[in-house]
């Protein structure tokens, strides 16, 4: 079939199309709509019920999309971060979709005989065997038939449109300052994903299809400094020479949203959703373990000569990782990484934990970039635990919460911490044991998000470290961190029985799955944490078809475990590092 013939093919029916914008934010969309820069978003929102969508806490991609797909909080589905602690050790593993312990809407709809298609949704590798197709998101470690269900779809797409792209590869262009080429790579990735969705829409009818553009998030991390003149990272020279890369990505998405609205049947429902919002980053870095040391709660192995040498070793290893990723050819990188099985995550675990003196550490942090948390060094759980379970554990948690609430930014005098939570305050479910003991919600620093980094990478002994503009421009660490996440994402829905031009208040990301099921005439399982967003629906619609519920299955969803090979582990690590989610 020629491209011209394929372009002439009509679209099939799709009862519900979900367009996902990773990191989508009305803080960007609404002003651009008012300025006439996103005309298709404008006409869509005028016909929709829309509102901000509260993300998970903290607002992160893996738990966010997992909560959206299951209607459950991380305590029920088991996904808290990009990595997870191997309980009983001080080691970490990268998670994948097989680690999710709750049914997704794709499985629920498939079991009900509905035809579904999921394209590019994060945390969907390995793909589920659904009644339809599933194409994995950016976290897929390979680019072959294993990223798709059914596997033969991979060759079908290769023959029909030249293949599929899980994510844009522009790290080397960024490292060399080639902004225009980097943006072109992002736009090409958007184009290919849209072409894939369009091909599938022309291939057969669907009850539900979802397409996620991760490029709306990637451009935030890399290019906020060119978008926001007030950002501490702002580069006015490059910004003057470069059209706003974030706007360019949104306008490309706007074009395809227009095609969606023009070609889908008039009675189709179109939903817009994001996993979290976005905003700018501060020029200050927090080192949680350094702060814990200052409170007398943690000790580094740095009081002796061997300890100091170990600390120097950690800094050299951190520098070496950044240098390898940006300088060496990819084939050479692969030979280095995979010489020893599992070396990458062993190194990551080593960097995080080996410098700690466990016998004298009460509380510690993994110091991940986007999941600020603390673990109590607990007897019976941690190999060298020193805190007794029960009353001592609770006393330590309360003491740490009090100390966190009193932490002040030395420059502004403002609280560094907005609130510290015990894990059971925000998570509930059978997988609560996987959660850290305390979760921290940072304050903003004059409207910008604090950055987090391992203490091993600090330049001195400060818990709050300000970096100069010159350092920001030269640092590999800062290259993809001028933009960050925020709590409020986006939600909108347009279609039969939906209020038009209505502002929807109080929507939460766990409400998306129940709403999807309702729109497709399916009952909502009683163990979902979310609720159908009735405020966006007309009274006539709810009277004609009230929300129905069904008892949840007593047996939990248990997908067969998928253990990454050493090479797969490293590839996923690189994707996460390219977005600033790991260092």
Extents of the domains making up the chain: 3-276+487-576, 281-300+356-478
Which residues lie closer than 8 Å to 332 by C-beta, 6 or more apart? none
In DSSP terms, which residues pair with 24 in a beta bridge?
Answer: none
Closest CA to 146 of 127, 169, 131, 133: 127
Closest residue by Cα to residue 366 from 383, 349, 343: 349
∠ CA 126-127-131, nearest 5°, is 155
Question: Which residues on neighbouring strands pair with residue 415, listed in sequence order?
Answer: 408
Report the pLDDT value the prediction gives residue 471, as an integer from 0 to 100.
Answer: 82
- For 395-405, write each residue's pLDDT tens digit: 999 999 999 99
Residues of the chain with pLDDT under 70: 1-9, 302-352, 554-560, 564, 569, 573, 575-583
**Which class for 547: exposed (0-12), middle (13-18), buried (19 or more C-beta within 10 A)?**
middle
Segment 244-255, tens digit of pLDDT: 999 999 999 999
Q: For residues 441 and 461, what is the distance between their CA atoms, to the nearest angstrom?
A: 23
User: Based on the number of CB atoms within 10 Å of its own CB, is 186 exposed (0-12), middle (13-18) or buried (19 or more)?
Assistant: buried
Nearest alpha carbon to residue 100 among 57, 59, 138, 71 = 71
Q: How far apart are CA 517 and CA 313, in angstroms?
A: 53
Distance (Å, rounded) from C-alpha 442 to C-alpha 59? 12
Per the DSSP assignment, residues forming a β-bridge with 300 are: 356
Asked whether 168 and 152 are in contact (CB, 8 A), the reply is no
Report cis status (omega within 30 of 0) of the bond before 126: yes
Dist. CA 143–CA 91, nearest whole Å: 28
Residue 580 is encoded by which pair of tokens?
A: 């600033």
- Cα 40 to chain center, whole Å? 26
The residue whose two tokens read 């680019």 is 143
How does DSSP classify residue 580?
Answer: T
Token look-up 């709810």 returns: 542
Pairwise CA distance, residues 507 & 52, whole Å = 7
Alpha helices in 433-527 (DSSP H): 469-474, 512-519
Q: What does R_g of the chain's alpha carbons equal in angstroms?
A: 24
Global pTM value = 0.90
550-569 exposure pattern, b = at least 16 Cβ within 10 A, e = fewer: eeeeeebbebeeeebebebb
CATH superfamily of domain region 3-276+487-576: Alkaline Phosphatase, subunit A (3.40.720.10)
DSSP state of 509: G
Tell me how far apart the alpha carbons of residues 58 and 74 are, in angstroms, rounded to a whole number. 11
CA proximity to 104, closest of 66, 138, 48: 66
Using one digit for the tens of pLDDT, what is the confidence trace for 505-526? Answer: 999 999 999 999 999 999 999 9
Give the model's pLDDT for residue 574.
72
Q: How far, in Å, CA of 271 to CA of 435, rounded?
A: 31
Strands (E), 105-187: 116-121, 132-136, 148-149
Q: Tell me how far apart the terminal alpha carbons of the chain are, to the nearest angstrom.
A: 45
Is the alpha carbon torsion for 113, 118, 124, 129 positive or negative? positive
What is the maximum span of the chain, computed from C-alpha positions, in angstroms?
75
pLDDT score of 557: 57
Query: What is residue 336's predicted lDDT score, i.e. its pLDDT?
Result: 39
* Residue reference for tokens 């008012």: 34
Provide CB contacts within 8 A for 100, sequence distance 6+.
Answer: 66, 70, 77, 78, 79, 123, 557, 559
């Amino acid at each position: 079939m020629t491209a011209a013939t394929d372009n002439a093919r009509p679209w099939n029916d799709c009862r519900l199309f979900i367009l996902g914008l990773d990191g989508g934010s009305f803080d960007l969309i609404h002003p651009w709509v008012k300025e006439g820069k996103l005309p298709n978003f404008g006409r869509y929102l005028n016909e929709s019920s829309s509102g901000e969508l509260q993300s998970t806490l903290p607002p992160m991609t893996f738990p966010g999309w997992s909560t959206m797909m299951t209607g459950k909080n991380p305590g029920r589905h088991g996904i808290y971060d990009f990595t997870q602690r191997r309980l009983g050790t001080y080691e970490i593993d990268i998670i994948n979709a097989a680690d999710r312990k709750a049914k997704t809407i794709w499985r629920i709809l498939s079991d009900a005989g509905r035809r579904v298609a999921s394209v590019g949704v994060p945390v969907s590798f390995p793909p589920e065997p659904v009644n339809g197709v599933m194409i994995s998101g950016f976290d897929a470690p390979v680019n072959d038939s294993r990223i798709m269900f059914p596997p033969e779809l991979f060759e079908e797409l290769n023959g029909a449109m030249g293949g599929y792209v899980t994510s844009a590869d522009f790290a080397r262009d960024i490292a060399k300052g080639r902004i225009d080429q980097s943006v072109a790579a992002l736009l090409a990735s958007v184009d290919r994903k849209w072409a894939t969705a369009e091909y599938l829409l022309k291939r057969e009818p669907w009850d539900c299809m979802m397409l996620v553009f991760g490029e709306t998030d990637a451009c935030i991390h890399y290019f906020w400094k060119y978008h926001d003149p007030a950002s501490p990272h702002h580069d006015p020279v490059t910004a003057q020479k470069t059209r706003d890369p974030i706007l360019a990505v949104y306008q490309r998405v706007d074009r395809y949203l227009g095609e969606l609205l023009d070609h889908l049947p008039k009675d189709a429902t179109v939903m817009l959703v994001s996993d979290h919002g976005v905003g700018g980053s501060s020029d200050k870095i927090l080192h949680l373990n350094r702060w814990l040391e200052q409170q007398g709660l943690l000790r580094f192995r740095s009081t002796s000569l061997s300890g100091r040498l170990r600390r120097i070793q950690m800094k050299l290893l951190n520098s070496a990782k950044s240098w390898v990723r940006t300088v060496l050819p990819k084939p050479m990188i692969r030979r280095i990484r995979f010489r020893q099985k599992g070396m990458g995550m062993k190194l990551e675990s080593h960097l995080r934990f080996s410098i700690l003196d466990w016998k004298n550490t009460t509380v510690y942090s993994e110091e991940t970039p986007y999941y600020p948390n603390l673990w109590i060094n607990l007897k019976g759980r941690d190999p060298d635990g020193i805190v007794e379970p029960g009353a001592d554990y609770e006393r330590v948690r309360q003491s740490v919460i009090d100390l966190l609430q009193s932490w002040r930014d030395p420059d502004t005098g403002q609280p560094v911490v907005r609130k510290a939570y015990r894990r059971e305050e925000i998570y509930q479910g059978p997988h609560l044991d996987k959660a850290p003991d305390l979760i921290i919600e940072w304050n903003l620093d004059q409207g910008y998000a604090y950055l987090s980094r391992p203490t091993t990478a600090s330049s001195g002994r400060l818990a709050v470290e300000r970096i100069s503009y010159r350092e920001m421009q030269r640092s590999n660490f800062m290259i993809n961190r001028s933009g960050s996440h925020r709590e409020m994402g986006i939600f909108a829905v347009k279609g039969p029985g939906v209020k038009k031009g209505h502002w929807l208040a109080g929507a939460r990301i766990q409400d998306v799955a129940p709403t999807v099921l309702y729109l497709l005439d399916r009952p909502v399982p009683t163990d979902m944490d979310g609720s159908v967003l009735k405020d966006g629906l007309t009274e006539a619609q709810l009277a004609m078809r009230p929300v129905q519920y069904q008892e949840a299955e007593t047996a939990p969803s248990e997908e067969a475990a998928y253990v990454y090979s050493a090479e797969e582990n490293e590839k996923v690590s690189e994707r996460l590092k390219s977005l600033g989610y790991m260092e």
